[in-house]
Structure formats: C-alpha cells, structure tokens
C-alpha cells in the first residue's frame, strides 16, 4: 500500500487486464553425435549454419575411422538444407580419445592443453614473444629500494621489471606500489635517475604476448604475465580461449623475465607445439557415451546435457540405432514433456519384419520412426553415400513449423538435397508399416522424394499423429512460460479472471491460425477455472488449478473420393 504523507496529486499504475502469451518456438533442433572437435561436456553449443558447425565441431569424419557413428555433420548439414534455422549440438567422444598437450616438455613453465579431445589439437601452435605493458623513467631514488617514477600505472606487486640503461639491463621484482613510488626487491646499481625530456634510462615491466593458431583460427593474448596478482595474469587472459587451456606449471622463484622462464636464453619468438591428441576408436564407443552422465550443472554429457537447455523441441542422434540409446532419448523427451524425438532405423533393417521388430521396442507419443536411409553427396569422399534420415526430417519439421505452423503434419514435404533412397517401398509394404507407426520416405514419379507418413510410435489412438503431440507441446510450453507472473499472486476471483482472459486470448489466436478445430472459439476450446476446479484445500495449499480443453486439427491422412456413374435417366 502506497503512503500519502504530503498533500498533492498522485498518479499510480496498476495492471488489471490480461497479459499476452507468446508462443514458444518449436523449430529448434538438438543433435548428439561424434565430431572431430568441440566440447564434450557442459551446455550444448548453438549452431546457426553449416559453416558455424564447422568452426565449432570440425569437418566430416571418415567412414574407415568411425563407420556408422560419423553422421552428425551430415545430419546438421541436411537440417539446414531442408529449412532449419538453428540447432544445438553436443559432441560425444570415444572413451579412449586423448587431448593434445605439451606435457612431454617436462621443464615447461606453461602447461598448454587443447580445449577438448581429438587429433585436431596436434595442429595447434602457441607462439610467445617478449612484450611490456608499462614503461617509465625514474625521477628520484629514495631510501632503501624505493624509487619515485614518472608514472607507476601498470606496475603491480609481484611483477618482474627490467631497468635499461643503454645496453645494460638489470632485472628486479616489484614489492609494492604506492602513488608514484615503486619498491623493488633489490636495489638497482649505478645512477638510475633520468629527468631528461627524452629519457635514455627506463624501468619497464617484463611480459610476453601469447598467440594461439589453429588453421585459419587465431587468438592473441597481449602482454601476459606470470604474476598471479596482476590483472594480465596469463591464466586469466587465456581463460576465454576457445582453443586451449593454459596453466602456469611453476614460475621460477628467482628474478627472471617471464619470457626467459618460458623460452630459456633465446630472445626471438618461442613456439610451443602440442602433441598426443587422438580421436579414439569406434570400438571404444558404447551406449553410455551417448546416454551421458549427470555430473551436475556444467558437467553433464550426452543426452543428459540437454537437461539444462529449455529451447530445443526436436531431438535426434543421427545414425545411432542402439535401442538403449534410443529408449533413453525417448524417456528424456517424455520426462521433460517439451520435446519430440526423431528416431532412425538400422540401415540393414529393410525387410518389413525387421522394421517391425525394431518398431515394437517403442510405445510413446513423443517419438517417430523414419525409414529408409537417404542418398546424398559426401563432400569428404566426393561421392554419393547413404545417411540416416533424422537430420533431414528435423529440417522438414522446422520448415513446416515456420511456413505452415506446428499444427500442420510434417508430411507430404519434399526432401531437399536427397538424390535417392536406400530402399523403395511399395504401397503394399506401407499398408503394413503405416498403421504400425513407421513413417516411410518414398519417391513418386514427377513429385520427387517425399515424407509419406505422420505417425508417432504410440499405441494410444489419441496421440497417433505427430502434429497433435507437437501442438500440445507448443500449447503447454507457451502457457507455462507465459504464466510465470501468476506465481505468488493472491489466489482470488480477480486473479482467476485475469488468468482466464490471458489464456482465452492466446487460444483464440491459435484457433484463428487454424490449429484448433471448430467454427467458433467455443467449439475449439474451453477454459475452466474457479470453484469448479479448486477446493478450499487446494486454495489453502497454494494451488491454482485451471482446466483447459482443446480440439486439435487432425491431418487428412486418407483422402477418399467416391465416384459413381450418372445415367441419363437420373
């Protein structure tokens, strides 16, 4: 309650109307798979183009090295080719993959390690050159080891400094800095005072500049120091590197210039080469690598890393058809209730009975199966190869959501960048697979290659269509995100009326967009909130319960034209 203490006119704002609800995005995909580089734990990385994927996760993997585990790069490329705009990617690495480092150089002051495992780190070059961040003449030599300088800015306790008088150099360490007085660890010899307009003698800090180079990528950390107390400490500067982790293995106790500690007696550029990096082998991969581990925030891997991501609504692990991995992905989507899994079938499962055997492993409305594999061009081997369809289908989901809306079944859509199919199924085979919930991709004369199915893997007929489940994911996510303002508000009739108006306005807009059936909003949905949905016990325990019913549109899966002969006498 506002206080009114002095006479006057008071203007106050208050909210009484409905708050607009904004629909959540349903077109953001999440991919998990092998890559040549990139982080293997923490948050999935945002990727907005194939080139962006290459910068973060490297190029295509070879078939000889990784076989059926190599399809992540192809899937992401197909996702963008088919209309996707953004996705999040989490890399998986074999357990025997190793990180490149300079650990073989036992006497090295700097310990440099590639940011993540892989042979890519063996190509990293780290170059150090001498540098200095501050330079000043000495104006007065005080008592002890104190010297008044022209400008003490840039000098910090613990810094190694060098006093230069022509060809003569004296190294020292800063003990303290106060105003323009610098106290050194040892006294300087000779006449050190120089008050000339253009001084010939100077006291300078001793640092080094570190350059990290990998292919066309380069990072430069200027005027780095080995002094932990300085703001330009090398570990602090290089902490933002996307290529390497730099640690000070052990700076010398004596008064030695940082560059000399790193490079020895040389004065020119000093190069640190990394080695020992390895991509690992496909034999060491297991289902656990893709399922991942939950080591806490920032340390999760595989599927578990997407727990911290609330943007992704489509999930795929391209080419990995291990039932343990796929069932874990489906369980992940069901537990969160905000995302949908696209599953691949094994390439060798081409016969109807083999396809059905794999299909029978699943019963969920949060996933869909697609077959067969697709023929695309391989930029690595310069030939056509077959890849799993999940990345392409994820792009079609995104494209359909953007152009038509999530209520449109992502079927009868052409596949871009696909030149052929591994298997061509006929109508009789689809008559068996379609009711079972296997979505086929088929080639039609004059119509290209199209997705010819829109069913989930659920045995519940209410959730047999992909667009119905994804529409509910959209509605639930939008209402949840847009209703946070309700929490801790007084649970009264006024609040109930505001909530009803808010959701009514949102669902009316959804109905007008064609996502809900009915000729009027009252036929498309209903909202029930108040004493009919809550008891006094609910209110006393802080619960506000709103019951919402919607009538989703269903796809015209079977179009039947009944034709009869009209005779002249009729």
Task: Give me the mean pLDDT over the 384-413 stretch.
Answer: 96
Mean pLDDT for the stretch of residues 227-238? 90
Separation CA 111–CA 510 (nearest Å): 57
Examine the pLDDT at 16 and tell me if it is beyond 80.
no
Contact status, residue 348 vs residue 127, Cβ threshold 8 Å:
no
pLDDT of residue 93: 93
Lowest mean pLDDT among 36-40, 68-72, 101-105: 101-105
107 — pLDDT class (breaks 50, 70, 90):
low
DSSP 414: B
State percent of the chain over pLDDT 90. 72
Share of the chain above pLDDT 70, in %: 98
**Confidence category of residue 258, pLDDT binned at 50, 70, 90:** confident
> Range with the lowest mean pLDDT among 31-45, 62-76, 99-113, 357-371?
99-113
Tell me, what DSSP letter sits at residue 36? S
Of 37-46, 160-169, 308-317, the range with the lowest mean pLDDT is: 160-169
Residue 99 has pLDDT above 90, yes or no: yes
Cβ–Cβ under 8 Å, residues 48 and 92: no
Q: Which residue has the higher pLDDT, 399 or 12?
A: 399
The confidence score (pLDDT) of residue 418 equals: 96
Structure tokens at 124: 């990293």
- Other beta carbons within 10 angstroms of residue 172's beta carbon come to 21
pLDDT (average), residues 406-413: 95
pLDDT above 80 (res 468): yes
C-alpha torsion sign, points 371, 375, 376, 379: positive
Task: For residue 126, give the nearest of 266, 265, 271 by alpha carbon.
Answer: 271
Q: How far apart are CA 231 and CA 224, in angstroms?
A: 9
Contacting residues for 425 by C-beta, under 8 A, at least 6 apart: 372, 433, 440, 442
Q: Grade residue 1 by pLDDT with cuts at 50, 70 and 90.
A: low
Determine the pLDDT at residue 556.
Answer: 87
pLDDT band at 105 (very low <50, low <70, confident <90, very high): low
Per-residue confidence at 348, pLDDT binned at 50, 70, 90? very high
Preceding amide of 372 cis, omega within 30: yes
What are 420-430's pLDDT values in tens digits?
Answer: 999 999 999 99
What is the pLDDT, as a whole number, of residue 110? Answer: 87
The answer to whether 163 and 229 are in contact (CB under 8 A) is no
pLDDT digits (tens, 9 = 90+) for 29-41: 999 999 999 999 9
Confidence of residue 266 (pLDDT cuts 50, 70, 90): low
Q: What angle do CA 263, 228, 134 make, to 5 degrees?
A: 70
pLDDT of residue 13: 83
DSSP 144-179: TTEEEES--TT--TT-EEEEEETTEEEEEEEEEEET
Which residue's structure tokens are 């692990």? 317
DSSP secondary structure letter of residue 518: S
> Alpha carbon of 125 to those of 121, 235, 258, 263: distances in Å?
9, 17, 19, 15
Give the per-residue pLDDT at 198: 86
Beta-bridge partners for 203:
136, 163
Q: What pLDDT, on the 0 to 100 scale, is given for residue 352?
A: 95
The span from the CA of 326 to the CA of 363, in Å, is 12
Q: Could you tell me the pLDDT band of residue 199, with boundaries at 50, 70 and 90?
A: confident
CA 11 vs. chain centroid, Å, equals 46
Domains of the chain are 29-95+282-467 (3.40.50.11780), 110-130+208-273 (no CATH), 133-205 (2.40.30), 491-570 (no CATH)
Per-residue pLDDT band for 492 (boundaries 50, 70, 90) equals very high
What does the mean pLDDT of the chain come to? 91
pLDDT > 90? residue 412: yes
Q: How many CA atoms lie within 13 A of 29 on its CB side?
A: 34
Instruction: Tell me which of 68-72, 167-171, 462-466 is least confident.
Output: 167-171
Structure token pair of residue 61? 């993997």
Which pLDDT score, from 0 to 100, does residue 358 have?
96
**DSSP letters for 459-506:** S-GGG-BHHHHHHHHHHHHHHHHHTGGGTTS--SHHHHHHHHHHHHHH
Per-residue pLDDT at 570 exceeds 60: no
pLDDT at residue 501, as a whole number: 92
Q: Please give the Cα distance from 226 to 251 (Å, whole number).
A: 7
pTM here is 0.88
Distance from C-alpha of 301 to C-alpha of 276, rounded to nearest angstrom: 23
Q: How confident is the model at residue 252 (pLDDT cuts 50, 70, 90)?
A: low
Residue keyed to tokens 């106790």: 253
What span, in angstroms and rounded, lies between the C-alpha atoms of 466 and 455? Answer: 5
| pLDDT for position 254 | 73
Report the SS3 class of residue 236: helix
Q: CA 223, CA 134: separation in Å to the nearest integer?
A: 10
Centre a 10 Å sphere on the Cβ of residue 367 and count the other Cβ atoms it contains.
Answer: 25
Kindly tell me if the per-residue pLDDT of 371 is higher than 80: yes
Query: What CA–CA distances, in Å, run from 48 to 3, 59, 80, 214, 307?
Result: 52, 16, 8, 22, 21
DSSP for 239-292 reads GG-SSEEEEE----SSS--HHHHHHTT--S-EEEE-B--B---GGG--HHHHH-
């Amino acid at each position: 309650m506002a206080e009114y203490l002095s006479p006057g006119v008071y203007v106050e704002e208050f909210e009484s109307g409905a708050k607009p609800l904004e629909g959540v995005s349903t077109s953001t995909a999440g991919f998990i798979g092998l890559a040549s580089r990139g982080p293997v734990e923490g948050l999935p990385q945002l990727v907005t183009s194939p080139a962006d994927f290459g910068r973060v996760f490297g190029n295509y993997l070879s078939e000889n090295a990784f076989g059926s585990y190599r399809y992540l790069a192809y899937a992401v490329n197909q996702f963008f080719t088919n209309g996707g705009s953004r996705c999040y990617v989490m890399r998986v690495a074999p357990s025997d993959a190793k990180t490149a480092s300079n650990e073989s150089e036992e006497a090295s002051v700097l310990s440099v390690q590639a940011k993540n495992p892989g042979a890519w780190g063996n190509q990293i070059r780290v170059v150090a050159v001498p540098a200095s961040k501050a330079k000043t003449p000495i104006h007065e030599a005080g008592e002890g080891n104190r010297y008044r300088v022209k400008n003490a800015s840039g000098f910090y306790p613990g810094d190694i400094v060098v006093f230069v008088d022509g060809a003569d150099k004296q190294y020292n360490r800063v003990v303290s800095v106060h105003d323009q007085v610098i106290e050194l660890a040892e006294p300087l010899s000779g006449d050190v005072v120089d008050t000339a307009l253009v001084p010939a003698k100077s006291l300078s800090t001793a640092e080094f500049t570190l350059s990290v180079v990998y292919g066309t990528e380069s990072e430069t950390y200027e005027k780095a120091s080995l002094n932990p107390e300085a703001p330009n400490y090398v570990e602090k500067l290089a902490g933002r590197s996307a290529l390497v982790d730099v640690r000070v293995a052990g700076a010398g106790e004596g008064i030695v210039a940082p560059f000399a500690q790193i490079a020895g007696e040389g004065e020119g550029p000093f190069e640190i080469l990394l080695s020992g990096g390895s991509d690992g082998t496909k034999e060491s991969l297991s289902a656990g690598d893709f399922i991942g581990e939950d080591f806490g925030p920032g340390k999760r891997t595989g599927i578990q890393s997407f727990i911290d991501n609330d943007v992704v609504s489509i999930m795929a692990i391209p080419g990995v058809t291990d039932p343990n991995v796929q069932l874990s992905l489906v369980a992940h989507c069901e537990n969160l209730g905000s995302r949908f899994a696209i599953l691949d079938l094994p390439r060798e499962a081409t016969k109807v009975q083999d396809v059905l055997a794999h299909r029978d492993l699943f019963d969920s409305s949060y996933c869909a199966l697609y077959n067969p594999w697709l023929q695309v061009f391989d930029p690595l081997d310069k030939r056509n190869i077959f890849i799993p369809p999940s990345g392409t289908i994820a792009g079609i989901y995104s494209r359909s959501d953007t152009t038509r809306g999530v209520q449109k079944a992502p079927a009868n859509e052409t596949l871009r960048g696909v030149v052929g199919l591994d298997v061509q199924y006929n109508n009789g085979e689809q008559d068996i697979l379609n009711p079972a919930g296997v979505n086929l991709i088929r080639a039609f004369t004059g119509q290209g290659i199209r997705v010819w199915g829109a069913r989930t893997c659920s045995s519940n007929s209410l959730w047999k269509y992909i667009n119905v489940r994804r529409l509910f994911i959209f509605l639930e996510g939008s209402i949840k995100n847009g209703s946070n303002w309700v929490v801790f508000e007084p649970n009264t009739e006024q609040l109930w009326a505001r909530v009803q108006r808010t959701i009514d306005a949102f669902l009316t807009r959804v109905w007008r967009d064609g996502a809900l059936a009915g000729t009027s909003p009252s036929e498309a949905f209903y909202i029930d909130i108040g004493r009919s949905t809550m008891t006094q016990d609910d209110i006393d325990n802080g619960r506000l319960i709103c019951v919402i019913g919607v009538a989703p549109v269903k796809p015209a899966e079977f179009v039947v034209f009944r034709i009869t002969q009209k005779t002249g006498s009729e």
